[in-house]
Chains A and B, each alone.
Chain A
Amino acid sequence: MQRQTIAELSRQLQDGSVKSRDLVERCLTAIEGPGRQLNAFVSVCGEQALVAADAADELLKAGRAGPLTGIPFAHKDIFCTTEVATTCGSRMLEGYVSPFDATAVARLREAGVVLVGKTNMDEFAMGSSTETSYFGPTGNPWDLHRSPGGSSGGSAAAVAAGLVPAASGTDTGGSIRQPAALTGITGFKPTYGRVSRYGMVAFASSLDQAGTLTLTAQDAAMLMEAMAGFDPRDSTSVDRPVPVYTDELNTSLAGKRVGVPREFFDEGLDPDNEQRVREAIAVLEGQGAKVVEVSLPNLGLSVPTYYIVAPAECSSNLSRFDGVRYGHRHQGAADLESLYKLTRKEGFGAEVKRRIMTGAYVLSAGYYDAYYLKAQQVRQLISEDFKRCFAEVDILAGPTTPTPAFLLGEKTDDPVQMYLNDIYTIGVNLAGLPGISVPCGLVQGLPVGLQLIGPHFGDTAVLNFAHVYQQQTQWHCLMPAPTGTPDAADNAGGAS
C-alpha cells in the first residue's frame, strides 16, 4: 500500500499521468484486500464509485476539472448519502438510505470527489474508540489490537492505512483530532458553523462540526475550500466568505505568538508524549514564532461540562428514533409504549443508552438548574478563557491526547477513563474553535499528535501553522507497516 496526498494525486490527475478510475480501483482493492482486517468501512459503493470516476475522467480529459475532481474519498457514516446507506454505526439505522444528501456530501461531490464508501464510527458518534459501533470495532493500522480512537476511527484508520487519500469526520468532543493523533494523520475540526451540519446526523447540535481526516494540512485546506460555507438549510452555519485557505498555507510564522496552556501539561499526560509535543513546539519556535505560556484556568471543568451538555442534546436529538417512520422497528409490539421501548432497547447500544439517560436526567424538572444551566455557565467561562488567551497569542499548542493509542477493550468497562481521553480536545468544542491534530512523533512506536487551536474563524491560521510545521517535519509521512508496526526503514522521519 502506498499513501499519496490529495495534492499529489490532483497533480497526477491533471497532467493525465493517472486516471481517477485507476485510483478508485486501487482504493477498492485495498479496502477489500488488506484493509478488511481493519473493519474501517461499514459500506463500500464500488460500482457507483467507478461510474463517478469515469465521469471525473471525462471532465479531466475535457479540461473542465477542479483540483478535487476524481479524488477517491470516504465519508464517515454519519453523513447522509443517497447512493448508499447511512447507519451512524447503529443497529437503529442499519440499511437506512437517506432521501437526501448532506450539504457537505453534495458540495464535495460537486467539487468532483468520488465517494468509495462510508466509514465505521462509534454509534451515533458517542465514543472515543470506535468500539461502540454496532458493526464491530475498527483496528488501528499501527497495531490491530489497539483502537484507532473515535468516533471518526473508521475514517482515521482508512486514511492512515492508505485505503483512501482522505475522509470526512465529525468532531463533537475530539472525534476528528483524537483518532487523527492516534493513527498518525492530520485531523482538522473547523470553527463551529463553518461547515454546514445539514444532513449530518445530529449527536450534540451545539458542538458537532464536520471536518477532515487527511495526510496533510494542505489536503485539509483543499477539502475545506469545497466543504465550507454558509448553508441556508443550517441556521447555525455562518454567513461569511470562505477564505482561500491554500493561499495562506505558507505564510511565515515569524513574529507570530504561540500560547502553550499550562493546563495541557498536567499529570495525566504521558511524559514521552509531552516530550514529542514540546519538540514540536520548538519547531514552531524555530520558524520565528514566539512561545509564551498561557493559562486556561477552567479547562479542568471541560469534561464534566461536556458530559452534561452533549448528553442533554443527544437525549433530545435521538428521540426521533422511535420505530415509527424509518430505521429499526420492533416487530409485534402489543401497544405504542412497548413499540417505543422495545425498538429503542434493541436499536441502541449501551453507550448511547447511557448518554440518553444522563441527558434526560440533567434536563428533568428539579435538576435542570443544577446541571444543564450550570454547565452552560461553565461553558461560557471556558470560552472566555480561550478568548483571553487569543487576545495575546495567535495560536494555542499542546497535546491532542494524553497517551498514544490504547488497547481495544482497555477502557470499555470504564466510561470515565474513556471520557478522560478527550480532556485536551473537548474545551475546543465547548468554545466552538478551530483545531487540528498533526502527527508529531512516536511514543513506544505509536503516533501521537500536536494539537493547534485557533481563535473563532482562525481556521486559516490553524492550517497555516500546521502546514509550516509539516514543511519542517516528516512525521506525517510516517506510515504504519502492513504488519502493524511502523515501517521505519522507508521513513527516516522525525523533526528536521
Chain B
Amino acid sequence: MSWETVIGLEIHAQLATRSKIFSGASTAYGAEPNTQACAVDLGYPGVLPVLNAEAVRLAVRFGLAIGATVAGRSVFARKNYFYPDLPKGYQISQYELPIVLGGNIHIVLDDGTEKDIAVTRAHLEEDAGKSVHENFDGESGIDLNRAGTPLLEIVSEPEMSSAAEAVAYMRTVHQLVRYLGICDGNMQEGSFRCDANVSVRPAGEQQLGTRTELKNLNSFRFVERAINYEIERQIDVLEDGGSVVQETRLYDSDRHETRPMRSKEEANDYRYFPDPDLLPVVIEKEYIETERAKLPELPEARRQRFIHSLGLGVEDASLLTGSRATADYYEALIASVGGEYKLAANWVNGELAAALNRDGIGIADAAGSPERLAGLLVRIIDGTISGKIAKEVFEAIWQGEGEADDIIEARGLRQISDTGKLEKIVAAVLADNPDQVEQYRSGKHKVLGFLVGQVMKATGGKANPGQVNQLLKQKL
C-alpha cells in the first residue's frame, strides 16, 4: 500500500521585545538563573499582568506580512495546568479569539517546486520557565528567566505532505520573522522552535489519520529527521495491523527516535477561560494601516524583483534574499557598480559569504562595508586589478586595512597594462623557455597556459591576463 503524509506545524517565535509580555523584566538571554524574573513573572500573590504594546505591534506586523486578518478584538485566556516552571498555575495565551487569523506562506522547495501553505492563526502567549534536572542531587531546579517571554504561536493548516515541505515552510517563516524584525530567529537559544503534528493515511484517502505531536523541535535538521522517523514509525505500526495512538512525542536527537511524552489518558483539561485581569486587545483600523505602511519589502517580492529587474538567476536571488541584512547589503553594493549586478551577486554569495562563514559572523558585522566592497568591484570593472588580485585586496579589506584603492597603491597591485613593459617581459619569458616555444609552434597550444603563468609570475600577478595572452600569441 502507498501512504501519504499530512503535516501541520505550530511554530513558536519569540518576539523581539526588550521586556516581557506582561511585566517590565528583561528578555535578554543567558542571565544567571532567576535574575530576570520579577514578582509578576514569579506569580507572587497580588501581582497583575500588563500587556506589552510592542508585542502586539510585532504580532500585527506578522499578520500583515502574511496577508492575514488582524483581529479588531482579541482576548487573552488562561490555560490552566500545574507545572513547576509555570508559576501562576496557568499560562496566559489566546484561545477563542486570536490576534491573527488566516494568511499564507509561499514556500519554494529545493527542486524549485512552489506551494502556498495556509496559516490557520497566530496568537500571543507567554513562555514558561524551565526545569533544570542536573546538579540538584535528585531534586529539580527551576529557572524562571524565560517565564513571561512573549511568543507568537503560528499555527499552520495541515497542508504539508513531506518533511522537506515542513522544513521549507519553517525556513520561510524563519526568514520572514527575521525580515520583519519581530524575532531574532536564534534557534540554539530557543527563540524559534516548533511542534509538528504528523499523520499518515492511505494514498487517496480523504479522512485524516490519527496524528501525533512532536514537541519542541529546535533545528531544521531535527524537524526533518523527526518527521521522517515518525512517518516511518506510523507506517510500520499501521502495516503491522496496529493503530497510531494520539499522543505527544519527544524527538531524541542522540538516538534518532521519537518517544511518547504523555498520552491522551493523562491529557490535561486546560479549562480555558478569558483572563479577567486583562482587557480585550482592541486594534483600530488606523493602527493597522500605519503598521502596514511601515512593512519592509517582503522576501518573496524582493526575490522576484532581483530575478526580473536585475536579471539574476533564481539561486543567486534566493541566496541574496535569504536574510534582509544580506539583501540590504547587496542593494547598497549595486548602487555604485554601474549595472554589474551579476558580478556583485557573485562577490556577495562567494567571497563575502565565505569570509562570514569562516569567521562565524553575520553580515551586519562584516568588516567590509558595501561601500568598501563597491570600491573594490569598481577597480575590477575598470581593469585596474584582475579578479585574482581582487581576492587579495578583499582579504586586506577584511583585515581592516582600509579602502581598496589605498590597498592597491600601497601594495603595488595595479595591473600592468603597459604594452611596452609587458612586451619586454614576454620576450624574456620566451627566451628562457625555448622548449615550450617549440612545442607551441608544433601545435601543442596547451602550453600557452604555462607561458602565461610564467609572465604572471614574473610580474607578481599584476599583468593584465588578457593582454598577456594576446602578446604571447603575437610573438609566437
Contacts and interface: CB of A to CB of B under 8 A. Distances in A.
Do A and B interact with each other, yes or no? yes
A364 B45 contact: no
B49 interface: yes
B257 to A, nearest CB: 26
Given A312-B273, A364-B271, A322 B82 contact: yes
B43 interface: yes
Interface string A295-326: 00000000000000000110110111110111
A337 to B, nearest CB: 9
A235 B50 contact: yes
Given A205-B277, A236-B279, A325-B42, A319 B82 contact: yes
Contacts of A318: 89
15 contacts: A79-B46, A99-B44, A199-B46, A205-B277, A235-B278, A236-B278, A320-B45, A324-B87, A324-B142, A325-B44, A340-B82, A363-B272, A364-B271, A365-B269, A365-B271
A324 B141 CA distance: 10
Contact of B48 (A88, A234, A320): A234
A11 interface: no
Contact of A322 (B45, B78, B89): B89
Nearest to B79: A316
A235 B88 CA distance: 18
A235 B279 contact: yes
Contact of B46 (A201, A316, A322): A201
The A contact surface, by secondary structure, is loop
A364 to B, nearest CB: 5
B278 A316 contact: no
A106 interface: no
Contacts of B45: 80, 86, 88, 93, 96, 98, 201-202, 320-321, 326-327
Contact of B88 (A313, A320, A363, A365): A320
A364 B269 contact: yes
Interface string B250-289: 0000000000000000000101110011110000000000
B456 to A, nearest CB: 72
- Which of B48, B50, B88, B279 counts the most chain A CB atoms within 10 A? B48
Contacts of A79: 46
A102 interface: yes
B276 A326 contact: no
A360 B273 CA distance: 11
Interface of B: 39, 42-51, 78, 80, 82, 84, 87-90, 142, 269, 271-273, 276-279
Going nearest first, the 9 A-B pairs with the smallest beta carbon separation are A319-B89, A206-B276, A363-B271, A205-B276, A199-B46, A320-B43, A201-B45, A80-B46, A320-B88
A99 B89 CA distance: 20
A325 B43 contact: yes
B48 A233 contact: yes
Contacts of A313: 276
Contact of A233 (B42, B50, B88): B50
A372 B273 contact: yes
A370 interface: no
A200 interface: yes
Interface residues of A, number: 45
Nearest to B273: A363
A86 B78 CA distance: 26
Interface string A78-113: 011000001010000100101110100000000000
A324 B273 contact: no
A169 B272 CA distance: 30
Nearest to A93: B45
A316 B49 contact: no
Contacts, number: 100
Contact of A100 (B39, B82, B273): B39
Q: Which of B39, B50, B271 has the most CB of A within 10 A?
A: B271
A197 B89 CA distance: 20
Contacts of B39: 99-100
Contacts of B49: 235
B278 to A, nearest CB: 5
A489 interface: no
A216 B45 CA distance: 31
A343 to B, nearest CB: 11
From B45, B80, B89, B142, residue with most partner A Cβ within 10 Å: B45
Contact of B51 (A98, A100, A235): A235
Contacts of B276: 204-206, 236, 313
Given A235-B279, A316-B78, A316-B89, A98 B44 contact: yes
Contacts of B50: 232-235
Contacts of A234: 48, 50
Contacts of A198: 46-48
Contacts of A202: 45-46, 48, 277
Contacts of B84: 322, 324, 336
Interface in A193-237: 197-202, 204-206, 232-236
Contacts of A233: 48, 50
Contacts of B82: 319, 322, 340
B102 to A, nearest CB: 25
A368 interface: yes
Given A198-B47, A202-B46, A327-B45, 17 more contacts: A80-B45, A88-B45, A98-B44, A100-B46, A204-B276, A205-B276, A206-B276, A235-B51, A235-B278, A236-B48, A313-B276, A315-B80, A316-B90, A316-B273, A319-B80, A324-B87, A372-B273
Contacts of B278: 235-236
A80 B90 CA distance: 22
A320 B80 CA distance: 10
Interface string A373-386: 00000000000000
Contacts of B271: 315-316, 360, 363-365, 368
A370 B277 CA distance: 23
Nearest to B49: A235
Interface in A92-150: 93, 96, 98-100, 102
A198 B22 CA distance: 14
Given A93-B45, A235-B49, A360-B271, A320 B89 contact: yes
A363 B44 contact: no
Interface string A401-421: 000000000000000000000
A420 B374 CA distance: 82
A344 to B, nearest CB: 10
Nearest to B22: A235
A156 B271 CA distance: 36
A321 B276 CA distance: 19
Nearest to B76: A235
A319 B49 CA distance: 16
Contacts of A319: 80, 82, 88-90
A88 B276 CA distance: 21
A28 B197 CA distance: 65
A299 to B, nearest CB: 22
Nearest to B131: A336
Contacts of A99: 39, 44
A8 B300 CA distance: 75
A324 to B, nearest CB: 5
A352 B314 CA distance: 66
